[in-house]
Structure 1
């Protein structure tokens, strides 16, 4: 999701040998529903000759990079926007002349994985990469504003038609969790004009410090020695998340007036508290479950033999949800991989009989459908007309990503007015 080079996404030499990551420092400024993130990563070339390294990082669909710079052997290089062919030519010219340079580009067919080729890192030389990006934050059902710093670049399934050469995520070597040679330092500052109630995380945090008496600014840090072997998730609870807020961003110093970065910008945030049930709609709506049955779902949850497989964990959750549905609703269950199927040709009414039958069939499901093709089952679900007066909700159970992310997002967005 972000600009990190972790144990599953990092800096590689042209021979695919990892360049040791020495330290990671992340500073986050959260203002309302927007996070401004600065990630600084330090590497050292322990080879006996200069190397061309590749820095790989995932970026959330709601994030945008606005600055990237590198410090190599005392030389500071700042990224500038160029046409693709011109950028590639300038990079190749710099390499041939023995100069330090880097090339930042998006992985083909995706919008959320970026690579940076960094050339001529001298023997014993250190490289410091600093990336800045802004990201829109989502809100949880309980009103928490959620920020996530992922530790890994998730593997992607690539359909056969687009599998030539593989993706960046397939080429990045995996490093065992226990072998991580570094820790993460992270500090988050949060600002809200209506006050900050609290902050929570599954990771160990130092005590929350309020920077103002009215609790409109607060700061928190990860506890010292955090091993970056799992995602860092921060849940921020404002005093009133539904109040309208505005943020004024000054123009960048030195930028030309009238340019994108030169002029100030105003961000107005509206997050109204809208009832989930509309007039004339039944609380007992339509529930559709889409279960990933690709081969990777057969892997255990934490790669330990004593843990349940992903498919088993998903099935247990699905059965729990089936037992919790309201009487009188309608439901259906789809399974997908390289192909897809469904328990029923169309959604059926939820009764004691259909619940028992469905639970038994779910228990028999296996991860035997091949790859991870989510677009086709999505289209099949959307081709089914919505039931009058019954809001449709779609639940997805999956462990990975796909290469045609943009197409899947576009398909969901196309039907966003008719389902949740």
Structure 2
């Protein structure tokens, strides 16, 4: 169950966390993040503060320390139960202690316990982690500082044991945030963008390879802080060889050099310009109550669920004829439009769109495991590769169990995941895509969901890369031990990382070569990267810690497999590696005890839960409930309007029941204004499954003309559908090139349909269409 708490404790006393200071150092595509949390106990009794907060799911936490007055205590990594016992023993002895541990359910949630803080005493907690930056569809590198921690939904009948998330409205968080980042790369930094207000970018050298950026004054700490970093020539493969730790033994991960290879595969243009004409496309849409929240702070009218509905419209219109599809939605229960995937055609597309238009954020909690199990229980369709698209705001509690399920079924599908809104679990969204051989996208702030989803659909429509192998060519006395999981998917323009430990005698001029071989569309291909083996000395063990994190995550996944349930050997390996590298894991924790002054603290210990900022809180829930009522009325009137024009269709909705929240309904006066449909979506909604358009009054409205104006210039020898389709394509190219990525696939389908008509009058159509619409679009640019 979700546990909400406000700004004050039950005794109306303030929480002790005062401020958070974050400094980020980005080197190429790796970030080192140092967070300092300042606590102060203004009460007259000893205090224990508990702060539950988010971190990136793939972060390697590598340092934890506390400073009290002039005394600094550096935490050590211990087996989790041993660390907890040390913490409890310290508190029972009246000593000050600090405990940092990862949630057992999700690797992107940590809890920090500050124990026995004396009356009037201040403490600063320093937390350091390193993380890889993910490549976005537009080649930007994404860094996200999770500031918002939404409550993770837990079903009533599930086992307890997860951390209790306390939260309050983001605007009332009682602590402040300061944030700065320094960026450096071998290539110039072209720009840095953010969902938050930034001070101007400052370059630190004339080559523009170093820059610094800060949050503008007055940041409210009411959203995740996202940076998009753009380098010139970003898709260059790189290799970093890092020297081992001087104090560590040779033959261990920390003692030997480690190489990090960053590869960007290049695929033949002939393959990339074609798209598949088959596939089973399964969409899984979150309809929990939190999906009724606004997409961003500036536009409260666009909710997460409404944006998802618009996106499904574009996605459905872009599917190839002859493919198969189905749409599931989930909350506390789950539903599907069809009992099993059906062939994509005009009839099934119309049925699906009618049900999508009715979808609301009214299915209660966020239980994604059951619908996933049901989807995987459905037999795959021969010669139709399964592609799963998951849309969720990620407020789930059993992240590891979900990712394990996806991994067990990775041989039968590719999974593309989309994290919607502030606070979406990065561990869930990235984990789904990584283990499902797909691609992850995050939609924050003013981001539009549609282009990101269509980018992933393009990946899904390209042939899958199979038979991936990695071979090493190293000097005679040097060997490599791969520390990262095997590469399971490759996409054009997307980065693949390989970590490996190096052993043997490495000379100054020694070189190595890595070759990635794979098969694409039946043709064998390969990419190579040659690199110098000489280690760098000043990288601060960042590469070693990321490599340790990659290996720890592999072992943790292995430990959760059924055959390992009675075997503790994997857990022992994880604990040993975590302690050796100083990197956190699911089985270890950071513990620091202040034994300096030897004075025990007197008096009973008070516990304070520090609230994390949450987008989805009670006042938001009330507003969204009203918005859902209006949207429900809009959907009802949409169906009434459709009944007057088309044959009514009432498909049965196949539903698997679980615990469902009560839905509040209310009548809305017929005079309530309806939202105006976006012109692009209006035009797209009129396209047929085959790719063509009808010359209808609705199309005339979408193009800003009357029916007569549309019909009059039509060439006499051209039929209505060809003319309507040419006009629609001209309008798209003439007025919507700024969002081309959203309609490019459905336009390609329209062009394929036109080619199949073998019309000899397309030139005449294009000239007449340009004159009618006031455009200057060439036949070549249309793709004819």
TM-score bin (small chain): 0.7 to 0.9
SS at match of 1:156: coil
Q: Which has the higher helix share?
A: 2
Find the counterpart in structure 1 of residue 71 from structure 2: 75
Q: Which has the higher strand share?
A: 1
Question: Shift in Å at residue 42 of structure 1?
Answer: 1.0
Alpha-carbon distance in structure 2 between the residues aligned to 1:320 and 1:371:
27
Find the counterpart in structure 2 of residue 5 from structure 1: none
Alpha-carbon deviations, 1:85-104, whole Å to 9, x = none?
33223222322332211122
Find the counterpart in structure 2 of residue 110 from structure 1: 106
Find the counterpart in structure 2 of residue 204 from structure 1: 197
Instruction: For structure 1, list consecutive stretches of 5 or more residues without a partner in the other structure.
Output: 1-7
Question: Shift in Å at residue 189 of structure 1?
Answer: 1.8
Matched, 1:35 2:28: no
Q: CA RMSD in A?
A: 3.4
Find the counterpart in structure 1 of residue 480 from structure 2: none
Find the counterpart in structure 2 of residue 128 from structure 1: 124
Alpha-carbon deviations, 1:139-193, whole Å to 9, x = none?
1111111111121112111133435366322xx131x333344442222222222
Find the counterpart in structure 1 of residue 258 from structure 2: 265
Find the counterpart in structure 2 of residue 235 from structure 1: 228
Matched, 1:189 2:189: no
Find the counterpart in structure 2 of residue 225 from structure 1: 218
Instruction: Decide whether the 8 Å contact of 1:183 with 1:225 is kept in 2.
Output: no
Instruction: Decide whether the 8 Å contact of 2:140 with 2:229 is kept in 1.
Output: yes
- CA separation of 1:93/1:71 partners in 2, compared to 1, >3 Å: closer, same or farther? same
- Give the alignment of 1:90-105 within 5 angstroms: 90-105=86-101
Greater displacement, 44-53 / 303-312? 303-312
- CA separation of 1:346/1:329 partners in 2, compared to 1, >3 Å: closer, same or farther? same
Alpha-carbon distance in structure 1 between the residues aligned to 2:272 and 2:295:
38
- CA separation of 1:115/1:178 partners in 2, compared to 1, >3 Å: closer, same or farther? closer
SS at match of 2:160: coil
Alpha-carbon deviations, 1:231-272, whole Å to 9, x = none?
111111122222111234454575566655455433221122
SS at match of 2:403: helix
Alpha-carbon distance in structure 2 between the residues aligned to 1:306 and 1:205:
23
- CA separation of 1:394/1:406 partners in 2, compared to 1, >3 Å: closer, same or farther? same
Alpha-carbon distance in structure 2 between the residues aligned to 1:55 and 1:264:
37
- CA separation of 1:56/1:346 partners in 2, compared to 1, >3 Å: closer, same or farther? same
Find the counterpart in structure 2 of residue 376 from structure 1: 370
Find the counterpart in structure 2 of residue 88 from structure 1: 84
- CA separation of 1:299/1:241 partners in 2, compared to 1, >3 Å: closer, same or farther? closer
Alpha-carbon distance in structure 2 between the residues aligned to 1:106 and 1:184:
22
Higher relative contact order (CA 8 A, sep 6+): 2
- CA separation of 1:205/1:115 partners in 2, compared to 1, >3 Å: closer, same or farther? same
SS at match of 1:52: strand
Greater displacement, 332-341 / 309-318? 309-318
Instruction: Decide whether the 8 Å contact of 1:290 with 1:334 is kept in 2.
Output: yes
* Number of corresponding residues: 410
Alpha-carbon distance in structure 1 between the residues aligned to 2:139 and 2:176:
31
Instruction: For structure 2, list consecutive stretches of 5 or more residues without a partner in the other structure.
Output: 415-437, 439-784
Larger radius of gyration: 2
- CA separation of 1:283/1:407 partners in 2, compared to 1, >3 Å: closer, same or farther? same
Find the counterpart in structure 1 of residue 311 from structure 2: 317
TM-score, reference length from structure 1: 0.85
